[in-house]
Amino acid sequence: MTQVLTKWVYPFGSGHADGSAEMLDLLGGKGANLAEMSKLGLPVPPGFTITTEVCSVFYENDHNYPIELHGQVAQALADVETLVDATFGDQKNPLLVSVRSGAQASMPGMMDTVLNLGLNDETVEGLARKSDDERFAYDSYRRFIQMYGDVVLGVAHHHFEDILENYKDERDYRLDTEMVAEDWREITCRYRKEIICEHGKAFPQDPKIQLWGAIGAVFGSWMNQRAVTYRRLHDIPESWGTAVNVQAMVFGNMGDDCATGVAFTRNPSNGLKQIYGEYLVNAQGEDVVAGIRTPQPLTLAGKQSGGVDSLAMEEVMPAVFDKLKGVCDSLEFHYCDMQDIEFTVQKGQLWMLQTRNGKRTAQAALQIAVDMAREKVIDEREAVTRVDPVSLEQLLHPTLDPAAPRTVLARGLAASPGAATGVVVFDADEAERRAHGGDDVLLVRIETSPEDIHGMHAACGILTARGGMTSHAAVVARGMGRPCVSGASDVRIDYGAGTLAAGGRTVFAGDVITIDGSTGEIMVGRVPMVEPELGEEFTILMTWADKYRILKVRANAETPEDARIAREFGAEGIGLCRTEHMFFEGARITAMREMIMAEGEVDRRAAMAKVLPMQRQDFVELFKIMAGMPVTIRLLDPPLHEFLPKMESEYAELAEATGSDPNKIRHRAAQLHEVNPMLGHRGCRLGITHPEIYEMQARAIFEAAILVGRELGKTVKPEVMIPLVATRTEFDLLRGRIDKIAEDVKEDLNAELSYLVGTMIELPRACLCADSLAESAEFFSFGTNDLTQTTFGISRDDSAHFLPIYEEQDIISKDPFVSIDVNGVGELIRIAAERGRSTRLDIKLGICGEHGGDPSSIAFCQRIGLEYVSCSSYRVPIARLAAAQAAIGKLAESD
Amino acid sequence: MTQVLTKWVYPFGSGHADGSAEMLDLLGGKGANLAEMSKLGLPVPPGFTITTEVCSVFYENDHNYPIELHGQVAQALADVETLVDATFGDQKNPLLVSVRSGAQASMPGMMDTVLNLGLNDETVEGLARKSDDERFAYDSYRRFIQMYGDVVLGVAHHHFEDILENYKDERDYRLDTEMVAEDWREITCRYRKEIICEHGKAFPQDPKIQLWGAIGAVFGSWMNQRAVTYRRLHDIPESWGTAVNVQAMVFGNMGDDCATGVAFTRNPSNGLKQIYGEYLVNAQGEDVVAGIRTPQPLTLAGKQSGGVDSLAMEEVMPAVFDKLKGVCDSLEFHYCDMQDIEFTVQKGQLWMLQTRNGKRTAQAALQIAVDMAREKVIDEREAVTRVDPVSLEQLLHPTLDPAAPRTVLARGLAASPGAATGVVVFDADEAERRAHGGDDVLLVRIETSPEDIHGMHAACGILTARGGMTSHAAVVARGMGRPCVSGASDVRIDYGAGTLAAGGRTVFAGDVITIDGSTGEIMVGRVPMVEPELGEEFTILMTWADKYRILKVRANAETPEDARIAREFGAEGIGLCRTEHMFFEGARITAMREMIMAEGEVDRRAAMAKVLPMQRQDFVELFKIMAGMPVTIRLLDPPLHEFLPKMESEYAELAEATGSDPNKIRHRAAQLHEVNPMLGHRGCRLGITHPEIYEMQARAIFEAAILVGRELGKTVKPEVMIPLVATRTEFDLLRGRIDKIAEDVKEDLNAELSYLVGTMIELPRACLCADSLAESAEFFSFGTNDLTQTTFGISRDDSAHFLPIYEEQDIISKDPFVSIDVNGVGELIRIAAERGRSTRLDIKLGICGEHGGDPSSIAFCQRIGLEYVSCSSYRVPIARLAAAQAAIGKLAESD
């Protein structure tokens, strides 16, 4: 009987390989691509990959390997010996190998590598003879001892560095190049002594022991702190494990016909179709990475664009460069994507050490995707999946010049992307004043409230000391496309003194600072910026995306400016017009406050009547801009106390303005105070107890719709949305009042009127009763911000106290206010969609929370079959692209 | 072909009837029972019932009747004429009828009645001749005109009363008895003139027109304001409609051999088995009701116990009384319940006008149920359903003497039943001080917080100006069995001045007031009380209830006193021990504040170590009292800021006590401030970020369990409950820490330890992920207070701004914080129970929110198969009885 043994080891090299690029999960990225390149007939030093399954066994069995592993490694090693015609541990013709990690996902620099393995006091002499270069041999040996000592034996780097520095001092050497063979030999002796001293045991001379030591260290490095942290940050599951690649060494440091380098098959910064990269003559790969010597450009073009004097590889080694160019072409053709390549030239012979899909900027990603589709390397559909939707944000906002120096004052949350420089202003009114005066203003507040909207609008950036990623400041800033850093808790703001202090430094009102809403950095003074550019490729790719997209994309917008930007970015309507902003500006807030202070319904109606023409004009403008596209208008949502002044000093001011008594205002404010305003007297509850508000709004909407409809010559069909509905009765009652107003307006203006009435679904109860609601509501729009707050029982304003700790400790994988919590909030949305459709098959379903612009949330929306997502204007392109990828099935939901 | 016509009219009388008692929904209560009594052969004046279906047709068809109705009424009327040998409208021998409403549920006084119908200027002469009593005839006629004018023609009462008063003034009469036949005749003339004047048309002389007018008026009265309000308050569906009963008149006012009265077959106050009631000689039913003449007792026993001089019916009309007694016996025997009867004696002949199950006090209900079961009239199972669980509250708390006079200062919410009198104190500490000094104290606060607990405990009653039925004050007061009036918004409390003002009157600290937590009244001074008595019947009925009950009943209790009361009231364990109260008393709050102010974990642990022995002792006491019964302990739930002082003045005090800086305390308080504390850093979130708290609590619980287990000689198996869990990971992380402490304690005390770890389910997300949670949690306890807040998105502390309006406008049928909202919150509980059982079949499921003591919520818990309900100690008997009724299937859930 033949026993089928598990295959733990996959050899590659010399035109053959047991593995392939498809075996990514088993062989890791590096191993799979080494195998693939071997099979393509490219020059790959032979070697073998120990699978990620071994890693799992290793951790499941208390750091023990599968029993068959030793035999399989020995066999693979023997095969490598045959292929390169050298023998592991042989004194005359020693085989040297590298031992490298390689996980399914790239984790650059996180895990350990050992080079030159196989050297010892005897084989080093063989290497010297074989290479005819004693200095090279002992340099290689000392590098190996140091790496092995550090990675496998736990003797820290600095021990070795100190020895080298001392030695150079003794000899009065200044550069490593002054070291001759004898010097390096002496260094290897001293290194080995240090290892006995620090490690307690001698440096192992047996290459087999060296090999297993290195394999163990690489597997062990899967669980080191850096790797664990990196995985958490990049959502890489621990269960994947790493593979280990053992490969015959090739040397780029054996003379001037040797070199080592990295190449991108296209330019990773701008995406242009030209090989781009760097190399070093007579060097090992680590020299390029370490930055000890300045690398030289690969191409003449690169030399020109970089403005450097050093010689390009194209000039120095034209034949090898031609070969490299051929390899680049065939790799790109084979992988159908831009490749990031590592190579070594050993005595004029090119060797490929790695290939992988290259990282690139958003702009490059766009360019490459569009170019490759034009070149027919990929099709349009594939091109659409090649750009990370979130990366588009880099293109939509100005960014700091990465080369510019900066002094970081403090850090907060990267709440709204883009960078901004301006004078510090602590007050919304002053922000508006100074902005009108022509200043670039940075509005700095402890936290913002709806009363600050005009100041936020006038500012070019917003900084707050409190509040999370979904605080008022963050949400509004993203909606307006203003860069914002929120929750900078190390910053102390003193309104009275007009100062902002952090890190021992004080900034005064009027001083200039810069914020980077993409990193959360707050910087002193002005930092130079790079303006965004939306090229032709952007337009082309978005057109392709729109072809494949199923979900419609609307914008959350309430001002004409927002609406215009939304249309420019391709929004197909407004999914959420938050009307509270229409109560804050100028004379409106006074009328609103009159309403709040009024004694009876008559006075309340009189106050609202003052607001009617202004809101009607707001809607007229919005409807005109949207030119017949759907516009969903949410009736007033926030509680009344948000419209009253907060400060004692403002009471008197308001009292004078409204001819009232400050005591009365104070009393009313106290009366309206709420313990948990998020769960308070707001949304439709306000609509029910104060009928005059929604009635005024409905009238403004309907009159505007008729007026604009006449002007445009086509029907404007507004979608009136009732917020915070918990019960069918609430909805029916308000829908009845709205329908009544519609009848009145039709009669008053003698016109037809077409509209929908629906509800924002933002409470768990509404999801559960969706079947009943849908009998009466013509659409649902999921307000996922509040739905997340209630489903999770988390106030987003207060979540900064514990959510960061939750993320750090992996209690939640992602902030649920950023990506839809599929198992909780998502489950309620699924239930609501299912129940809603059960009573109204064609009910319009959309989402208008912050999640509408988050790709993984969009993937979820696609799966459960919503009709549209709505997001802030600046995220519309992101949503369009994400929706296309979701439709194609190439976008993952979060857990 | 024969067409089957709908039967709209059901005749009764003379030993026959088309209807019966079972046809309650078609004939209404009065009609069904008149039919039933007829069939029993009891003397019922003949008549007929127009069905409730006619009422529905009436309202669905714009106040039009079914076409067959006129014919059927005419036929039934003809039959009545035959039976009583009189003719409707006949000048010599006129038939007179009454027209009365009668719905499925009793709605006393809410709808309209017309008596003596059939009289006109001619038939009144016939009646005079036939009765040989002209005064009686004209008196009847003027009564009829007045009633008809009021009810049918809309001429208000006072018009007629004014005419009569003026007439008496003209004649210098003082009493109606001075009026002779001629006077009444004159009055009828004036009445008819007034009707022409006010109504615009003459009073109808045609009895048929009179009849249809009255029928229409009775149907119309179903929708009058009083009736609509009554139905809303008593949950009577509008769709039921009313029936109309037309019945031959009998007269109790035709001389001294005539009488009218009401009788209960048993005493409705105390339930004793003796006929109880009142009658009037020579009077009509309305005279008894109107209270113009003082009614006389029916029995000699009633005469003695009432201490009255007037003659009993038993003395005056012994033969008729005997007959009445026989009727009572046979009705009670027939209906198997105490009956409330209306009768008239006309010239020595007894006539039955109505019978229905009699209303009774809680004490009477208990007595009657137990007696009837003993008499074998009903069985034990039926007896258990005969007492309204909520009515038991009357027996468990002292109540105000209903006869005592009172001056009501203001009204609030009836937040916790019972009455209390005491001196007004505005501060918890002082309340404790004065209570220790022997005063009865009423704690008066704007609102209460956990810091006031000791004062609430010391007080005999609590009054707050803010907060709803489930505010802190209300919940804690019910838990402690303290009477409480909450949310008395008309009361203005000034702590500084030490005053409470309402209705223009000011009460000072130290003044005596009385509150009634069953009505919400706040009264000046002392109002005499009646102490509660729990008789033998209570014990017997509860024993029977326990036989049929399936749900277990536990108590929400944390103090030894609460626990003892709970056991006395039959609790089978503690379902919710809220440990926050264990952090507030004496030295503990100081240690807790030290923990909050501590710089690092070491100091935090040192502070918690001080609390450990105290909490351990708390648990020792609880476990001893519960003697092996299950005790569920909720780990600390409220946010830390609740433990810091609120007032600026207290910062200095605390700073001194803890050797800290007031600024630091102020800063920390500001840091801990939350916008929506209900959704903030509390529950397991606190447990995760501050491990030392739960670890200390787990240790205190486990050590106490082992100590008490040794002392009792039986295992104490605590149930450790983690609050506010939203995700499986939260639970697993904390469960791991708790298990670790358990291991430590076992080792430290060298003992075995048995315990469960489960979670409070109070967030929608937890319900949806219950399958995953149940893999790790051994029990779920539904925290329906918070689950209602999050599912509905309503902060209970703020709900007073709109929930009362919601109830008033019928937007919700019941306060969801009182009765489980079956379609929303209940749906989530159902999902959670189903999913939880899917992964842990035998998971322990219970409910520990306020709803645990609400009968309709208990019916819901029974239906979805929970294991237990837990409620405040004082509601345990209510829950036991409700659980029995739910098991028997005789308890309704709310919509």
Q: Which burial class, exposed, middle or buried, applies to A722 when counting CB atoms under 10 A from its CB (0-12, 13-18, 19+)?
A: buried
In which band, very low, low, confident or very high, does the pLDDT at A115 lie, cut at 50, 70 and 90? very high
DSSP 8-state symbol, B450: G
> Which of A790, A809, A829 would you mutate first to test chain B, the one with the most B CBs within 10 A?
A790
Distance, C-alpha A305 to centroid of its chain: 30
Candidates B128, B200, B191; CA nearest to B158 is B191
Q: Is residue A538 scored above 50 in pLDDT?
A: yes
A832-870 pLDDT, tens digit each: 999 999 999 999 999 998 899 999 999 999 999 999 999
Which pTM does this prediction carry?
0.82
Lowest-pLDDT choice from A116-120, A447-451, B425-429, B469-473: B469-473
Lowest-pLDDT choice from A77-86, A322-331, B391-400, B618-627: B391-400
Q: Please state, as a whole number, how many other Cβ atoms lie within 10 Å of the Cβ of residue B808.
A: 10
CB nearest to B726's CB, from A677, A786, A792? A792
Helix (H) or strand (E) holding B315: helix B313-316
Residue A489 is encoded by which pair of tokens? 């808790």
In which band, very low, low, confident or very high, does the pLDDT at B489 lie, cut at 50, 70 and 90? confident
By C-alpha distance, the chain A residue nearest B827 is A768
Helices A157-171/A181-199 angle, 10° precision: 140
Residues in chain B within 8 Å Cβ distance of A689: 801-802, 805
3-state secondary structure B176-189: HHHCCHHHHHHHHH
- Any residues with CB less than 8 A from the CB of A515 and at least 6 apart, and which? A419, A420, A442, A461, A463, A483, A484, A485, A521, A522, A523
> Residue type at A70?
H
Active site residue B460: no
Residues in chain A within 8 Å Cβ distance of B810: 729
A326-372 pLDDT, tens digit each: 999 999 999 999 999 999 999 999 999 999 998 887 888 999 999 99
In which band, very low, low, confident or very high, does the pLDDT at B402 lie, cut at 50, 70 and 90? confident
Q: Is residue A745 scored above 50 in pLDDT?
A: yes
Distance, C-alpha B466 to centroid of its chain: 22
Q: How far apart are CA A834 and CA A652, in angstroms?
A: 53
User: Which regions of B276-431 does DSSP assign to beta strands (E)?
Assistant: 276-281, 296-297, 339-346, 349-357, 399-400, 408-411, 413-416, 419-425
Query: Please, are residues A607 and A592 in contact by the beta-carbon 8 Å criterion?
Result: yes
Mean pLDDT in chain A?
Answer: 91
Chains A and B: how many Cβ contacts under 8 Å? Answer: 168
Look at A309 and B56; give whichever has higher pLDDT. Answer: B56
Mean pLDDT in chain B?
Answer: 91
Phi and psi for B867 in degrees, rounded to 5? -85, -40
Query: Please, are residues B554 and B573 in contact by the beta-carbon 8 Å criterion?
Result: yes
Q: How far apart are CA B649 and CA A596, in angstroms?
A: 33
Q: How far apart are CA A253 and CA A96, in angstroms?
A: 14
CB nearest to A764's CB, from B674, B797, B828? B828
- Determine the length of chain A: 895
Lowest-pLDDT choice from A44-48, A68-72, A645-649, B751-755: A645-649
Q: How many Cα atoms occupy the beta-carbon half-sphere of B268 within 13 Å?
A: 16
Beta strand pairing call for A47-50 and A242-248: antiparallel
Helix ranges, A155-272 (H): 157-171, 181-199, 207-221, 225-233
- Any residues with CB less than 8 A from the CB of A718 and at least 6 apart, and which? A619, A623, A631, A632, A633, A701, A702, A704, A705, A755, A756
- Any residues with CB less than 8 A from the CB of A100 and at least 6 apart, and which? A30, A113, A114, A218, A244, A245, A247
- Any residues with CB less than 8 A from the CB of A548 and at least 6 apart, and which? A381, A384, A884, A887, A888
B619-636 pLDDT, tens digit each: 999 999 999 999 999 999
Candidates A634, A616, A627; CA nearest to A577 is A634
DSSP 8-state symbol, A635: P
Contact between chains at B827 and A768 (C-beta distance less than 8 A) = yes
Average of per-residue pLDDT across B678-704 = 97
Most confident region among A291-295, A392-396, B154-158 by mean pLDDT: B154-158
Candidates A247, A246, A250, A253; CA nearest to A284 is A253
Q: Is residue B1 scored above 50 in pLDDT?
A: no
Maximal CA-CA distance, chain B:
105
Contact between chains at A676 and B676 (C-beta distance less than 8 A) = yes
Collapsing DSSP states into helix, strand and coil, what is residue B308?
coil
By C-alpha distance, the chain B residue nearest A813 is B729
Phi and psi for B241 in degrees, rounded to 5? 70, 170
Residues in chain B within 8 Å Cβ distance of A680: 795, 798, 801
Q: What is the pLDDT of residue B895?
A: 57
Q: How far apart are CA A509 and CA A499, in angstroms?
A: 6
Average of per-residue pLDDT across B675-684 = 95
Measured between alpha carbons, how far is residue A534 from residues A395, A539, B401 in Å? Answer: 7, 8, 83
Helices A662-672/A648-658 angle, 10° precision: 120
Q: b/e per residue, A248-287, with b = 16+ CB within 10 A?
A: bbbbbbbbeebbbbbbbbbbbebbeeebbbbbbbbbbbeb
Q: Which burial class, exposed, middle or buried, applies to A146 when counting CB atoms under 10 A from its CB (0-12, 13-18, 19+)?
A: buried
Share of chain A above pLDDT 90, in %: 69
Q: How far apart are CA A322 and CA A317, in angstroms?
A: 9
Candidates B372, B325, B341, B194; CA nearest to B263 is B341
DSSP 8-state symbol, A754: -
Query: Please, are residues B781 and B575 in contact by the beta-carbon 8 Å criterion?
Result: yes
Q: How far apart are CA B136 and CA B180, in angstroms?
A: 9
Q: What is the pLDDT of residue A399?
A: 81
Residue B351 is encoded by which pair of tokens? 């006539």
Q: How far apart are CA A551 and CA A249, in angstroms?
A: 52
Residue B2 is encoded by which pair of tokens? 């024969």
Helix ranges, A536-600 (H): 536-548, 560-568, 586-597
Q: What is the pLDDT of residue B289?
A: 56
By C-alpha distance, the chain A residue nearest B690 is A802
Q: Please state, as a whole number, how many other Cβ atoms lie within 10 Å of the Cβ of residue A538.
A: 21
Q: What is the pLDDT of residue B469?
A: 66
Distance, C-alpha A380 to centroid of its chain: 24
Q: Is residue A894 scored above 70 in pLDDT?
A: no
Q: Is residue B442 scored above 60 in pLDDT?
A: yes
Collapsing DSSP states into helix, strand and coil, what is residue A317?
coil
Look at B447 and A181; give whichever has higher pLDDT. Answer: A181
In which band, very low, low, confident or very high, does the pLDDT at B447 lie, cut at 50, 70 and 90? confident
A613-637 pLDDT, tens digit each: 999 999 999 999 999 999 999 999 9
Contact between chains at B681 and A801 (C-beta distance less than 8 A) = yes
Maximal CA-CA distance, chain A:
105
Helix ranges, B493-578 (H): 536-548, 560-568
Distance, C-alpha A562 to centroid of its chain: 24
Helices A536-548/A362-374 angle, 10° precision: 70
Query: Please, are residues A792 and A470 in contact by the beta-carbon 8 Å criterion?
Result: no
Q: What is the pLDDT of residue A1?
A: 44
Most confident region among A19-23, A397-401, A668-672, B302-306 by mean pLDDT: A19-23
Residue B705 is encoded by which pair of tokens? 């369990």
Contact between chains at A791 and B790 (C-beta distance less than 8 A) = yes
Active site residue A769: no
Residue A309 is encoded by which pair of tokens? 């004097």
Q: How far apart are CA A102 and CA A837, in angstroms?
A: 48
Share of chain B above pLDDT 90, in %: 69
Residues in chain A within 8 Å Cβ distance of B894: none
Share of chain B above pLDDT 70, in %: 97
Radius of gyration of chain A (CA): 33
Residue A624 is encoded by which pair of tokens? 């005109």
- In sequence order, the β-bridge partners of residue B341 are B263, B355
Q: Is residue B649 scored above 80 in pLDDT?
A: no
B733-789 pLDDT, tens digit each: 999 999 999 999 999 999 999 999 999 999 999 999 999 999 999 999 999 999 999
Please state the ipTM of this predicted complex: 0.81
Distance, C-alpha B537 to centroid of its chain: 22
Q: How far apart are CA A729 and CA B808, in angstroms?
A: 13
B829-880 pLDDT, tens digit each: 999 999 999 999 999 999 998 899 999 999 999 999 999 999 999 899 999 9
Q: What is the pLDDT of residue B175?
A: 82
Helix ranges, A96-180 (H): 123-131, 134-151, 157-171
Catalytic residue among A457, A472, A581, A641: A472
A51-71 pLDDT, tens digit each: 999 999 999 999 999 999 999
Residue A59 is encoded by which pair of tokens? 């951790």
In which band, very low, low, confident or very high, does the pLDDT at B163 lie, cut at 50, 70 and 90? very high
> Which of A232, A642, A676, A689 would you mutate first to test chain B, the one with the most B CBs within 10 A?
A676
- Any residues with CB less than 8 A from the CB of B371 and at least 6 apart, and which? B266, B271, B273
Query: Please, are residues A49 and A31 in contact by the beta-carbon 8 Å criterion?
Result: yes
Distance from CA of A512 to the nearest CA of B (A): 28
Phi and psi for B797 in degrees, rounded to 5? -70, -25
> Which of B690, B789, B790 would you mutate first to test chain A, the one with the most A CBs within 10 A?
B790
Residue whose token pair is 């009793």: B106
Q: Please state, as a whole number, how many other Cβ atoms lie within 10 Å of the Cβ of residue A602.
A: 9
Average of per-residue pLDDT across B809-821 = 89
Q: How far apart are CA B178 and CA B135, in angstroms?
A: 11
Query: Please, are residues A419 and A393 in contact by the beta-carbon 8 Å criterion?
Result: no
Distance from CA of A798 to the nearest CA of B (A): 6
